[in-house]
Amino acid sequence: MRTEGSATPDHLGAHWNGQGVGFGVFSEHAARVDLCLFDDPGSGRPVREISLLPASDGLWYAYVEGLAPGQLYGIRAWGPYEQQPGLRFNPYKLLLDPYARAVAGVVRWDDCVYGYVHGGAAAEDSFDSRDSAAYVPKSVVVDPTFDWGDAHPPNTPWSRTVVYECHVKGMTMRHPGVPAPLRGTFRGLASPCIIEHLLSLGVTAVELLPVHHCLSRRALQERGLCNYWGYDSIAFFAPDARFASGDRGEQVGDFQAMVKAFHAAGMEVILDVVYNHTVEGDRLGPTLCFRGLDNSTYYRLDPRQRREYEDFSGCGNTLRLEHAAVLRLVLDSLRYWVRHMHVDGFRFDLGTALSRTAEGFSPEAPFLQAVQADPLLSHVKLIVEPWDATPHGYRLGAFPDGWAEWNDRYRDTVRRFWRGDAGQAAEFASRLTGSSDIFAERGRRRGPLSSVNFVTCHDGFTLCDLVTYAEKRNHANGELNRDGAGHNYSWNRGVEGPTDRRDVLHLRRRDQRTLLATLALSSGVPMLCGGDELGRTQAGNNNAYCQDNAVSWVDWSPGTERQGLLGFARRVLALRRRFSALFDDRYYQGVAPPGEPLKDLTWLREDGREMTEPDWRDAALRTLGALFHRAAAKTGETPGSRAQTLLLLLNAGARRTRFRLPACPSGGRWRRVLDSGRRQTRERELPGTAVSMLPHSLVVLTI
């Protein structure tokens, strides 16, 4: 061993230079840090142990000649074990490297993986001296080289972005076109059949449920379940071995090959990332990484009782991003995924938890400022889930410029309007046109593309189940149906769950088409939940986080109705592309631009007249129209752009209606281009002055 050469004290993680590996670890309060080398992921006996050298500011480092990619290693940290100051050092617990680029092996849940005597009397204050090495996964040294060829990021503008949220395994396990050995993997997701499907929809970006290496908590495994969604991360640099061809570094190349394939097809890759908490949980959780390396540095502790954790995640702990080393860890992780893995953006789970200061949430929190100031990260897509698990954590619309936000008020209002709830029309109108009341209030300049619109996502009912179940069906999760949201604004058209009644099925299919059309034709960034375009069902489970089986996997089997819904989704997203000028980053003002015959937005009543203030206050209002118009681009603007006009007619009522059409501004006739009340719509001119609309349907006309 030597300590000079390519290894420097601030070079965190394990880095191979062709002749050996440099190691760097941060622990502010440790008295000693050891590196343990292993030959096998399940081994409890290291083949070599090396004490890292201390440097300034809590850094520990070493350079070991002769090591190569595939080498397994772990960390042991020595120091005080004192609950009240929040120090949990226990050198008998082998730890993952927080900067590990890959992880091998699985956790075998045994009492020895806890720093205290698990289940014993006065457990919290006890100290467990059993070695955990044989029961925990190991970090892996990786080869960082990869041939990216001429692939390059698509850099799709927000105004053209269509996001498709999906799970690596769930998308591929049941697809007959994915080779059997690749199903459930990164390379399987990059199969031509999957890419062709997404391109046919008009998807521009896949948003992957977490792919950082995660572990399933003990209680889940003891119920025969697992953390399928992956929201219990433990290694922020490591692609999850669940989705790889091997766990000795193959994870990295497999992920890179997937990104390369998506970029070659012109699609971006966005990662759902979980930096708010880890799988180590609360004070009674296991010691696997951060807790044993430096508990009081990496986690937020209760200032009054430091044996307790501040929990803004609902998962037992919260990372302490106000500490410079922890903030650096997260920023380094983000930069790694952009620079070395070529991802195009991130969706930050429980973003409010990342944006807290000692006084609470702040749009000027160090994390937000650091990301926006970073020359690399500030140029990728940044999407935040604008809430956390606390009563005061809901902050929709409060994040700074440059951040898009998941808009759950869009989700809830769209559902309630089409369900037929009273008094929803006015708010629905705002959601349809970009939610300016949320993102442009108090003089702020954020535009409609700050809103990521969705009707369904991984968390909750699928689109099919949304219109099939009025109540959740989560019994398979083993939590007595107490988990998952209880208020879903869902409906069943008179029959709960599956049915053979054709009238009910017909209404449910119409509802799905109408919701897809609403999403596609709303201002903002549309996000589809993977499989909704195929009528995917989870049998009423609205919290399938632990269901790694057919409940969660997309069903690709052929079927007339399934293909009919897919065809409709393709048509309505093609319509959005065709009228792309209507979905740019400008709010509608309800006024006519100079020299234009039409206002940019006119709201219409069922009788064809313009809406008035009293009309909006009518709680029984279920039917309305929206006439959108964008003027032709001026000289110097987008070449070839021309005026675009679209008339949306919406009938959320329970009766058929005839909507009287306004005069066609061109002097010609309106053309019907889409009708969600029909399985198929042939584009044609309308002969009369009114349109007959079925209940719960949306009609689109143009000139």
Q: Is 200 exposed, middle or buried (0-12, 13-18, 19+ CB in 10 A)?
A: middle
Backbone angles phi, psi at 26, to 5 degrees: -110, 125
Backbone angles phi, psi at 23, to 5 degrees: -120, 140
What pLDDT digit, counting tens, does each position of 231-270 carry? 999 999 999 999 999 999 999 999 999 999 999 999 999 9
Backbone angles phi, psi at 476, to 5 degrees: -65, -15
> Residue 297's CB: how many other CB atoms inside 10 A?
21
* 496's tokens: 């709960």
* 628's tokens: 């959108």
The pLDDT score that the predictor gives to residue 84 is: 85
What pLDDT digit, counting tens, does each position of 432-478 carry? 999 999 999 766 679 999 999 999 999 999 999 999 999 999 999 99
Give the integer Cα–Cα distance in Å for 282 and 34: 26
Which of 119-123, 144-148, 497-501, 552-556 comes out lowest in average pLDDT? 119-123
- C-beta of residue 585 within 8 angstroms of C-beta of residue 158: yes
Q: Is the pLDDT of residue 634 over 80?
A: no
3 state DSSP class of 65: strand
Give the integer Cα–Cα distance in Å for 202 and 539: 28
The pLDDT score that the predictor gives to residue 160 is: 97
The one-character DSSP state at 609 is P
Give the integer Cα–Cα distance in Å for 204 and 155: 10
Q: Is the pLDDT of residue 13 over 50?
A: yes
DSSP letter string over 168-187? HHHHHTT-TTS-GGGTTSHH
* 515's tokens: 């919701």
Task: Examine the residue annotation and report whether 349 is marked as an active-site residue of this protein.
Answer: yes
- C-beta of residue 549 within 8 angstroms of C-beta of residue 476: no
Domains, the chain, ranges and CATH? 588-702 (2.60.40.1180)
Taking alpha carbons only, the member of 536, 520, 534, 538 closest to residue 564 is 534
- C-beta of residue 206 within 8 angstroms of C-beta of residue 268: yes
* 32's tokens: 């000693």
What pLDDT digit, counting tens, does each position of 510-542 carry? 999 999 999 999 999 999 999 999 999 999 999
Cα 368–chain centre separation:
18
Backbone angles phi, psi at 412, to 5 degrees: -70, -40
* 618's tokens: 């009518």
Q: Is the pLDDT of residue 3 over 60?
A: no
Q: Which of 254, 349, 459, 600 is catalytic?
A: 349
Query: Which one has a higher pLDDT value, 358 or 207?
Result: 207
Place of tokens 């410079």: 324
The pLDDT score that the predictor gives to residue 636 is: 45
Give the integer Cα–Cα distance in Å for 422 and 20: 69
- Measured at the CA of 167, the angle between CA 372 and CA 236, to 5 degrees, comes to 45
3 state DSSP class of 384: strand
Q: Is the pLDDT of residue 2 over 70?
A: no
* 105's tokens: 């092996």
Residue-level length of the chain? 703
Q: Indicate the average pLDDT of the chain.
A: 94
The pLDDT score that the predictor gives to residue 633 is: 64
Q: Taking residues 311-331, report their average pLDDT.
A: 97
Q: Is the pLDDT of residue 639 over 50?
A: no
Between the alpha carbon of residue 435 and those of residues 1, 176, 266, the distances in Å are: 60, 41, 29
Confidence of residue 9 (pLDDT cuts 50, 70, 90): low
Task: Examine the residue annotation and report whether 385 is marked as an active-site residue of this protein.
Answer: yes
What pLDDT digit, counting tens, does each position of 602-630 carry? 999 999 999 999 999 999 999 999 999 99
Q: What is this structure's pTM?
A: 0.96
The pLDDT score that the predictor gives to residue 442 is: 62
The pLDDT score that the predictor gives to residue 122 is: 60
Q: Is the pLDDT of residue 334 over 80?
A: yes
Q: Which of 254, 385, 600, 675 is catalytic?
A: 385
Place of tokens 């069943």: 492
> Residue 640's CB: how many other CB atoms inside 10 A?
7
Confidence of residue 680 (pLDDT cuts 50, 70, 90): confident
The one-character DSSP state at 56 is G
